[in-house]
Structure 1
Amino acid sequence: MKRADMDGLREVISENLRVQLGNAPLDYVSVGTALQDAKSRQNHAIFARRGCGKTLLLHHSSRTLKPDLKSVYLNCEDFKRHSFPNVLIEILASIFRELDRNLTGWFGKKRELKKIVSEILEKLRELQVSADIQDEQIKRKNSSEGTATLEAGFDIDHVKLGGKNEAKEREETERSFSIHTEKLQELDRWLPRLKEYLRDIFKQSRVVKGLLLQIDDLYHLKRTDQAFVVDYVHRLCKDLPIYFKIATLRHSSTLYVDREGQPIGAQERHDYQPIDIDYTFSNFKKTEDQNRAILVQFGEQAGLKPQDIEGLFKGEGFARLVMAGGGVPRDVLSLFLELLNDVDVDGTKKIGKDEVRLLSRNNFERKIEELKQDSKADEQDDLIKGIYLIRTFCLDKKSNIFVIEERILQQNDTWRALIYRLLDYRIIHNCGTALTHKSVPGTYQAFAVDIGSYAHFRKLEKRFNEIDVSDPGAKERMRSAPILEPIKLDGLLGSLPANLEQSLLEEDGEEFEDQ
């Protein structure tokens, strides 16, 4: 491959590593019915970890809609620091501003339609001012109510990771929901009229007969706000030709809650259907094939053939690249760009296991930084502490795989919250469910600690049992993996270093060789 070809490939990937409006249009590499579902007249929630293609799926589906169906896209990251209910008002205003911009092209040149949308936007401006005044009154009444949150600190049986008192947390959460309900009263009273406006718009339209509301990255909103936003959007869409497509992290989102018998939000399988586009190590071949297809698509845009892309790797290099990226396409591509620097044009130096291993630590550092940026300040320390304890457990047991009894994950909410949040942040990776263990009864889930958390340590050769998840016999070997229980982390708490993050990322001498 010529250097110009590799430079072209690098440029295409670099420009599209993060999908944004205005980028060159990319096709979503669909496996299964994800793309078909995203375009359908049905409510959906799209679940996947960051970098798996949620935004790309929304944009690609918008470009391929039928003529009588249009979409409105908004990203919740724009509203991440907004207070409730202003965050909901801002979301509604964004939707109707987009309708206003496209009114003529979508619904025709009718003065009455323009007047309706203008009245809606004016009402939303009034509601926003009213919400600010009410919010200030509530703050004066009880200043502590503004800090209420759904996320409890992690209190994992005997392992206490800075968790708040459970009773106090429950009280704060209930108070927060009470305040939210109070603030919503005016918006709720206006909802029937708002829906009448929308019916009039669709009734007078000769072309557009349906609308998709694409709400991306819901997890950026405060956890206590999410269910209320989803609840209002769901009620707005009901009995109208409007359908929501919410894209988010599954374990960092609250789409539905039940408070004192009152359902708030939208319930999975009842009010919306899930679209899961995550690719895990549980089916490694499927995950590997998906990432290969994405890389080949980028190669085609750069004028390269599939065999040209394959020629950049040697041995198990690509499989190890997918492992180091946790199966997440963006992480895999990001690592690939760095590795491409050292590939020789004459093919003498290719991407293999060793090359991937040496860079995996950099990727681990980026994940820690993303965790710090996305998580709330009061939970960052708990998450970092959880990472340190789990990694220390794996190193002590000399295994990159650990298993947790499914009963514990089902019954212990805070333990499950920690594990699933670390899955969302790609610090640990799902490797299998409903596994039986060779030594202890019960059913287990298997997880792999990220390669970057241990691959740079020295002298691990022949003393570290790294199960290769790409190996067909990996699942059988997982049945002998060490069992992680909350109480087993208790003994590690006394030896926590003063600076956990520094200890996680510091070097440990010489590199070790792959077996």
Structure 2
Amino acid sequence: MSYETAGVDSEFVTQCFKERGIEPLSVSVRSFPGETIFICEVVADDFQCAVSVAAEISDRLDGAFVTVRKGSVSEERALAAKVESLADPRITDLIELLNSRSRTSEHQPSLRYVQDVTSRLNVCTARRHNLIFGRRGVGKTALMLEAKSHVEKRGDATFWVNLQALRQVSADMAFLHVASRLSDLPATVFSNYKSLPKSIELARDIRSRAEKLLDLDKVKPERVGNLVPAIQAFVGLLNAESQRALYLFVDDFHYLRIDEQARFLDLLHGVTRDNNSYIKASGIKHQSRWFTDNPPVGLQTTHDAAIIDLDVTLENPSKAKEFLVDILQTYATEVHLKNTKAAFSGSAADRLVIASGGVPRDFLILCATTLQVARERAKARQAGVQDVNEAAGRVSQVKLTELEEDAASSGKSHAKIVLQSLASLRDFLLQRERATYFKVDFADKEQNPRLYAVLQSLMDLRLVHLISSSLSDERQAGRRYEVYALDLSQFSGARLRSKLKALDLIGGKLVLRTTGSNDAPKVGDSSHALLSILRRGPTMSLEILQAD
């Protein structure tokens, strides 16, 4: 089997070495006309094996080869040096890195994108429209940035816009801003061309028309719609002249007013009609409305666009843990820590997964806060479970602030409803039922869609986490439930509330334990045992939540 050089990058080469048990210190790339060289640095003990692996990879590459050299002694020693305590300077570096790089943006992508088992990256780089949904922090921007990087490497053109910056304007005005910026594409795509293509002239005309409309206090929708055919023709010409596809990355479209979102996507969709151009738009699903009927406006799923669901739930806790720890390892390696166990105990890693609800950004922020808490203990060697509990309590206020910010896109009344619903839910679980997880009857959610939407808002904001999307009733055939867990931040702090029936993670397996008790936890180490644990949760009526 041979590889196309255009699809090979340093991450691919790194993975090839890892599959053979070799952890490269670094992989750098040198590009020359007609040739690409990958330079892999390894520790001295791996050098001979690495040479063989490099030869195997090189034999399968066309116009590229891999060479190996021994890493510097300082790099080897730094990676191998044992962490004696959390006062180690590398822990300081790790905390700073986690805090500064937990959030991605167009100008600050991931340290290294960790591919998930469902290969969503391959779907996101496909030549079709996609709607990318997930809660805050699950990696929507990270996925789109990685997709952007991949399609650029294969020669396609890209355009990026974050709609958070346009949250105060209407769909029409947001589209005009995008139209004005799209007119910059020919200058970028044809920067190395001696003669100017015809699309340059069209771009100037579009910019002029868009900016004139932007200068007006009020613009009729028809005037904005009349601009779409001109932009569609411009984009088609750009595709033809450059012989490239165009990918339009639209980040956080849920920041537009919910009744304006379908209109914006509809205008953008018109631009891509019959062109080699593709929309990749991300948002929070339950704060989004991407299509409306009668008349049809927006992007219709299955017909116009496919959905990519990024929510990493705790339905498969071992997979969630593996994915999150892999992400953490990229940060640890960056600061010369050999593995994450240098900073976190095994039980702390389990608790971090359950506390984050499987959300990558929450997981990384919790890791940083946990290390800061642990360092307050004299001569602490590792962060433990109690440090995670304390950290979860400290970030609680941050989460509630985010609730206000996120819910603001639906209006202040919605924010009040969600906050009141959270208080009601906490009272039901912690005071009445003495439990941290609950079931919702399928029939209840079908009969009360507005109340169910409030619950989904709490999940989008990571204040409750989905544990099971379909749990059968052991006594009544056909009756099913969804199972949710309250976020750890809502019942922890300096001291974890005692005598609560709480779900936890041990060795990647879901368990049921009683907080503040020495009783042995019930371990969900089989399908039957897991079902038994989940069925013990109280059934919550959606009526305790405030209607939107």
Partners of 2:407 and 2:199 lie apart in 1 by: 42
Q: 1:438 offset after TM fit, Å?
A: 4.1
| Correspondence for 1:26 | 111
Determine the structure 2 residue equivalent to 1:172.
Answer: none
Which amino acid in structure 2 is aligned with residue 190 of structure 1?
L
Which residue is equivalent to 2:493? Answer: 456
1:371 to 2:403 alignment:
yes
Give a deviation string over 1:414-441, Cα, whole Å, max 9, x none.
Answer: 0121011111100111010221234666
8 Å CA contact 2:434, 2:501 repeated in 1: yes
What is the distance in 1 between the residues matched to 2:311 and 2:472? 24
The 3-state SS of whatever aligns with 2:467 is strand
1:467/1:275 CA distance change after superposition, 3 Å: same
In structure 2, what is the equivalent of residue 416 of structure 1? 452
TM normalised by structure 1 equals 0.79
The one-letter code sitting in structure 2 at the alignment partner of 1:185 is E
Using the TM superposition, give the Cα deviation of residue 364 of structure 1 relative to its aligned residue in structure 2, in angstroms.
2.0
Deviations 1:42-82 (A, max 9, x none): 11111111111111111122222243312111101010111
Report how many residues are paired: 434
Equivalent in the alignment of 2:441: 405
Matches within 5 A, 1:73-152: 73-97=160-184, 99-105=185-191, 109-110=195-196, 112-130=198-216, 132-134=217-219
CA RMSD in angstroms, aligned pairs only? 2.5
Cα distance in 1 for residues equivalent to 2:357 and 2:197? 53
Deviations 1:128-166 (A, max 9, x none): 245x334xxxxxxxxxxxxxxxxxxxxxxxxxxxxxxxx
1:64 to 150, 163, 168: 150
Q: 1:110 to 1:320 in 2, by over 3 A?
A: same
- Aligned pairs for 1:258-407 (under 5 A) are 258=293, 261-306=294-339, 309-343=340-374, 349-376=381-408, 377-395=412-430, 396-407=432-443
Higher relative contact order (CA 8 A, sep 6+): 1
Shift of 1:328: 1.0
3-state SS of the aligned residue for 2:211? helix
Task: Tell me the TM-score normalised to structure 2 length.
Answer: 0.74
Is the CA contact (8 Å cut-off) linking 1:331 and 1:363 kept in structure 2? Answer: no
Secondary structure of 1:10's counterpart equals helix
Q: 1:224 to 1:488 in 2, by over 3 A?
A: closer
Task: Spell out the pairing of 1:90-239 with structure 2 (5 A cutoff).
Answer: 90-97=177-184, 99-105=185-191, 109-110=195-196, 112-130=198-216, 132-134=217-219, 183-205=220-242, 208-239=243-274
Contact 1:426 1:450 in 2 (8 A): yes
- Counterpart of 2:99 in structure 1 is 14
Q: Secondary structure at the match of 2:296?
A: strand
Q: 2: CA distance between counterparts of 1:303 and 1:354?
A: 26
Cα deviation code 1:382-421 (max 9, x no counterpart): 1101111111111111111111111222342201210111
**CA distance in 1: counterparts of 2:390 and 2:374, whole angstroms:** 15
Runs (5+) with no aligned partner, structure 2 = 1-82, 512-523
Q: Which runs of 5+ in 1 are unaligned?
A: 135-182, 494-515
What is the alpha-carbon distance in structure 2 between the residues aligned to residue 330 and residue 446 of structure 1? 23
Q: In the aligned structure 2, how far is the partner of 1:25 from the partner of 1:284? A: 23
Q: Quick one: distance in 1 between partners of 2:336 and 2:124? A: 29
Post-superposition offset of 1:235: 2.1
Identity %: 23
Q: Secondary structure at the match of 2:504?
A: coil
1:106 CA drift (Å): 7.8
Deviations 1:308-332, CA, capped at 9 Å, x for gaps? x123222421110111112111111
Cα 1:270–1:408 change in 2 (3 A) is: farther
- Choose between structure 1 and 2: higher helix proportion: 1
Cα distance, 1:100 vs structure 2: 4.7
In structure 1, what is the Cα distance between the partners aligned to 2:461 and 2:269? 28
Give the match's secondary structure for 1:71.
strand
Equivalent positions of 1:458-497 (< 5 A) are: 460-461=497-498, 463-468=499-504, 470-471=510-511, 472=524, 473-487=529-543
Q: Which moved more, 1:19-28 or 1:329-338?
A: 19-28
